[in-house]
Amino acid sequence: MDLWRFADDTSRLLGVPLTKVADGRTPWEVFHDVRFLGNDRLAPCTRLLKQVPCREWMDQHADPTDTLVYVGIENTKRDRARIPAIARNWKPWVTRFPLCGKWEPLRTKEELLDEARALGVSPPRLYELGFSHNNCGGTCVRAGQRQWKHLLETLPERYAYAQEREEELRQELGDVSILRDRSGGECRPLPLSRLRER
């Protein structure tokens, strides 16, 4: 995945070795294991594949007295509201949120991507394809309908893969889906197969 190319390029630019920590499962395997299909409100993959392994590694290898935790959430109202909880959850480490401020004027994502280009680091391919995030190759369950439609148009094979995995979980768990249809004042599951038909 191009995310790892970007991480390797950035690691070389900073002169800091990249440490990869993983438990070996995919998000789809996590959903199967916990018997819950992630969505925009609750994504167990984030906790189990990112936060838990990182925290375990930090407990063993990073002294809180001389280690900072940098969290790459964006400068949106929703993300900024999460800062106190994230900082609390990372204690005893001190956290920093470099994309959420401290620069005057605050830089946009496009300005930050331009800065990376100027430093010789090509941004991840998904940004070049018009995605607003570089998560899970475009198949992040936290994405909304607009991103899933964009994925179908730009990377249909990835959409098809996610649709197949979602259908497998629907067969196992019942009428669940990544997306929700909130039209008409009701909230109903909106499987990727139905979004494709629309």
pLDDT in tens, the chain (198 residues): 788 999 999 999 999 999 999 999 999 999 999 999 999 889 999 999 999 999 999 999 999 999 999 998 888 888 889 899 999 999 999 999 888 876 556 778 888 899 999 999 999 999 999 998 888 999 999 999 999 999 999 999 999 999 999 999 999 999 999 999 998 889 999 999 999 998
Residue 140 to residue 195: CA distance in whole angstroms: 16
pLDDT for 104: 58
Alpha helices (H) along the chain? 2-14, 27-34, 44-45, 52-61, 77-90, 109-118, 125-128, 145-154, 156-173, 192-197
Cα-only R_g, the chain: 18
Residue 125 to residue 31: CA distance in whole angstroms: 26
**Residue-range domain boundaries for the chain:** 2-197
